[in-house]
Amino acid sequence: MSVEYTTKYAVGPNEGKQFDTAQLRDAFLMEGLFQEDKIKLVYTHYDRYIVGGVVPTAGSVTLDSIDPLKAEYFLDRRELGIINIGETGKVTVDGEVFELNNKEALYVGAGAKSVVFSSNATATPARFYLNSAPAHTSYPNKKVGMADANVLNLGSVETSNERTIYQLMINGVVDTCQLQMGLTVLKPGSVWNTMPAHQHDRRMEAYLYFDLAEDQAVSHFMGDPKETRHIWTANEQCVVSPPWSIHSGCGTSNYAFIWGMAGENLDYTDMDHYGPSELR
């Protein structure tokens, strides 16, 4: 079977305050998502959100169901978001082929029975990043290129957080039940990805850090805004953020990251901000 999964159970804010570094990393960090010819998934107990990756090289790789879903097909009761962070590849959904270039996205609605991943060239494979959330309605599949995204330019050179946000799967771009995804690209010289930091108790979020040089790192800040913690992350590592936690990061160089979230609403601006002087 080409699909492998692990499970991360929910952690409360009081419990999280007691964790040492190893416990924090075990509870919130997701490593090794991108394996050749395998789909690696992490089933979280935050809004039943699933994070995963696949790197097709030898041939095509099929998204089969996993035991926690108790379903014949992976998308029987779920929706799926896919963003390619590698070279050009294809996603075939029930026979319909979608070609995704680097940083292009595909939304797959609930009810799809067959999802198959492949790369256009074995030597330069696609690297598909996957997010999935439960869905109560089936919406149409839709490819979203960078030109189709809603684009926000935020931050400044002076505050080291000049960045461009590409909203790929949000209201107004794609119809979804609760899944939202997009990516943020930092300008050279900028290192803070989300500052001021924010929190939203109405939904969880996951950050995948990528386009980061192998000898560089990002310190991901999380936890209660008055008692923060941090996790050092490397290229193509992901951190799951509970609803009670802030999410923000600072790198040793510029990089990009994909944000994905699900929960109570689809209002992207529903955030509780905490300025630098408020954090502890």
> Residues 181-226: pLDDT tens digits?
999 999 999 999 999 999 999 999 999 999 999 999 999 999 999 9
What is the rounded distance in angstroms from the CA atom of residue 246 to the CA atom of residue 204? 10
At residue 1, the pLDDT reads 62
Residue stretches of the chain with pLDDT short of 70: 1
- What residues does each domain of the chain span? 3-278
What is the rounded distance in angstroms from the CA atom of residue 29 to the CA atom of residue 19? 13
| Closest alpha carbon to 147 in 190, 114, 100, 104 | 104
Q: Going along 200-243, which residue ranges are E strands?
A: 203-210, 218-224, 227-233, 237-241
Name the CATH topology of 3-278.
Jelly Rolls (2.60.120)
**Is 120 in contact with 171 (CB distance < 8 Å)?**
no
Q: How many residues does the chain have?
A: 280
**Is 29 in contact with 237 (CB distance < 8 Å)?**
yes
At residue 269, the pLDDT reads 87
Angle at 107 between CA 170 and CA 98, to 5 degrees: 135
- Cis status, amide bond into 13, omega within 30 of 0: no
What is the rounded distance in angstroms from the CA atom of residue 191 to the CA atom of residue 224? 22
